[in-house]
Structure 1
Amino acid sequence: MVGITLEGAYKGLEFYILKPNVTRLTEVEVWCEAAVQIFFSTGICYGSLITLSSYSKFTNNCMRDAFVVTITNCSTSVFFGVVIFSVLGFLANEMGVNVNEVAASGSGLAFVVYPAAISLMPIPQLWSVLFFLMLINVGFGTQFESLRKRKPLVVMGTCISLFLMGLSMCLQGGIYMLEVFVFYSPGVSILIICILQLIAVIGIFANTFLRMASCLASAARV
């Protein structure tokens, strides 16, 4: 919470909490971005929830777990909003501009604006390391439980593959490749996957219900 003690942090918190631009709620893009963000932060349709739920007991209260995960996720998002906008207020104060001029979204916020703000803070090396460690922890999840015994090979193979795929982002057109990846990877594709998974689950339950109804009808005739 060092960010809220910085000079100008109040400007960022005011922009985030006290004076939000409610007119943006009429824009479809805002709701699309919100849906993608909630899917990403809660792990919906990425496979992690299904993988971890397979370790639960058959009698586990999944409804309770759903509420706990959702409330915890939303609370964490609000907390991180306070952290981020306090730092953005500090950066805006240092640059002498309004907060909305530095409050970029997506890769611009994560890799340009926020690191620039951190570099102006006391002991920037410490905060830079902590910030990118946080990004790494957010990116990696426990989605390969069955491969835990071969963890060194999995980690090495994953790192080499991602390194080779990331080389294209280190060239002159790297920022364009990054934006394309950010747009198509967690954006529209995850919405399509979610809809297909929903249709599949509904189809399975509907087929099971029809089979049960057919069996009951046959039993009634007998």
Structure 2
Amino acid sequence: MIDPAFQHVDGKLWANVAFATGEAGGTWHVDLATNTWTRVTYPPGSPLALAYDVVADSKNNMYGMQMNNDKIWVTNGKTLETVWYDFPTKGAGCRRGHLDSQDRLWCGVFHGNGLAMFDAKTKKITEWKVPTSWTRPYDAQFDDKTYVWTAGMDNDLAVRLNVQTGEFTEYLLPHETNVRHVEVQKSGALSSLWLGDQHGNTIIRVEPLVP
């Protein structure tokens, strides 16, 4: 994964090679002007930090996650020092996620069949269980208003959570759909969801008619 979203802050981006343990593996901090690649390292005894996904906040710090790791970690973009945060529920972590306008991480808890939100200001992780088994959320994104959206690769459902009320709405997709990335369109009275079908060569939009 690569996240160049806030490269304008310091001229650097974050890149990650998931699951690789050799020379190329791990997370890299890339200086675009000099083409300098700095591998992020951790002190001896640190928790595991083999990220599946990395995303940057507005200060170009890096948030790391991995579905087999029940921690979220944040690497400082200036010092490259890393801090880990534990999930309240053990045994599952996030697979992929997005930052919102408040620098909060929203992500899909793949093995835990849920959603999570990490607030770096309060250092707190909040979790929600999705209502249907085997949804296995792959990714998640908040619309910066009311709803967080998710979908997965197993049961052909798109899911919307009202974070104010805790109410879930499920949308049956039109055909078998392998979802590995979600993108929320935030314009309009109600947010909508765009999905790419990994195996089916289709793009799907889920557009609610009512809240």
**TM-score bucket (shorter structure):** under 0.3
- Between 1 and 2, higher relative CO (CA 8 Å, sep ≥ 6) is seen in 1
When you count strand as a share of all residues, which structure comes out higher?
Answer: 2
Where is the helix percentage greater, Structure 1 or Structure 2?
Answer: 1
Please tell me whether Structure 1 or Structure 2 has the larger radius of gyration of its CA atoms. 1
TM-score where L is the length of structure 2: 0.22
